Amino acid sequence: MQPINLFEYEQLAKQHLSQMALDYYSSGAWDEITLRDNRAAFERIKLRPRMLVDVSDRNLTTSILGQPLELPLLIAPMAFQCLAHPDGEIATATAAASAGVGMILSTLATKTIEEVAAVRQNFPNALQWFQLYIHKDKSLTRALVERAYTAGYKALCLTVDAPVLGQRERDRRNEFSLPLGLHAANLATVSDLDIPHAPGESGLFTYFAQQLNPALTWKDLAWLQSICPLPLVIKGILRGDDAVRAVECGVKAIVVSNHGGRQLDGAIASLDALAEIVAAVDSRAEVLLDGGIRRGTDILKGLALGAKAVLIGRPILWGLAVAGIGGVSHILSLLEHELSLAMALSGCQTLQDIDPSLITPPQG
């Protein structure tokens, strides 16, 4: 039978993935406290629905950085999607474009920037951003940025919470590396880099230590903006003062995220950081929420606490593993239906009706 929620997809995906791929996708750092807390945070928040509101029609549309979306959802940047299905990021991009949601392509994708951009030939209005890791080799970073701009991506999404990679013990135990025939496609076309096999360690951990720049600071944002006119989004902010600094540096959108619990274990849940950051930004940049979303009610809670939209990560991989593009499309359809239903039951006709008064205790 076809899964009827995202949790069922997760269970079914275990039958379609190797143990190494499953652990890579699902694991968190160290004791996985933050990984679990991302979900628990949504369970702690309760809703205060309005009654006797005409909700016969609901409108889920919004816009992010001026680009329209059919619902307030973007697919988070996730590496190595071909571990789940041979079509990988192309299937994900196609499903996203068809559903009218955004997609953020990872630097560590297994399909190239150009291959994923080609999806827009059939969906010219598709929202595509490029997620960036800044490498020690600045010429490599510049080349990636220039390719994304030339290919028509609409924003750069800089991940700022990974100066080094968090210790994911399941990956270390598995000595994670890409199977024969899979590569970090965007790096192979620039400098023939790949994820090494590292005895006793995760190959990705070793790659980050060798290649990524741990000396990245706020000053580097100016350099990045100087080489590309695209709006800059930063992902991985959990503090209000960092959010203010980002706005002062010209950042146009902030993704509140703890990297899916995969970096600093014990870090605050993304949802618990959201209200402080929304208040600190004070409408000077758009705020998005990433981490732990599995239900339409989770999206509703995130929007009620001030997010303009949310990012969805691992469930996309579960759908991809189970049924390729059809699985990703079904995941997005389930979330759209659940959000629409949650809005109806909360007395909200439009996303603009979702406000802090829906949360208990009342916010704002």
Q: Where are the domains of the chain?
A: 6-360
Amino acid code (one letter) for 95? A
**At 290, which helix (H) or strand (E)?**
strand 286-290
Q: Report the first-to-last Cα separation within the chain, whole angstroms.
A: 44
Q: What is the pTM of this model?
A: 0.98
Q: What pLDDT digit, counting tens, does each position of 332-346 carry?
A: 999 999 999 999 999
d(CA 136, CA 156): 18
pLDDT higher than threshold 80 for residue 363: no
Cα distances (angstroms) measured from residue 154 to each of 113, 117, 130, 193, 237: 13, 11, 8, 26, 21
Residues 6-360: name the CATH superfamily.
Aldolase class I (3.20.20.70)
**At 30, which helix (H) or strand (E)?**
none
Contact 192, 184 (CB under 8 A): no
Give residue 188's pLDDT band: very low, low, confident or very high (50, 70, 90).
Answer: confident
Q: What pLDDT digit, counting tens, does each position of 193-226 carry?
A: 889 899 999 999 999 999 999 999 999 999 999 9
- Residue 191: the pLDDT is 74
β 156-159/128-132 pair status = parallel
Average pLDDT over residues 102-117: 98
Residue 104, helix vs strand vs coil? strand
Could you tell me which residues are beta bridge partners of residue 283? none
d(CA 349, CA 364): 21
Contact 363, 302 (CB under 8 A): no
Q: Write out the catalytic residue numbers.
A: 259
Q: What pLDDT digit, counting tens, does each position of 136-172 carry?
A: 999 999 999 999 999 999 999 999 999 999 999 999 9
- Residue 61: the pLDDT is 98
Residue 231, helix vs strand vs coil? coil
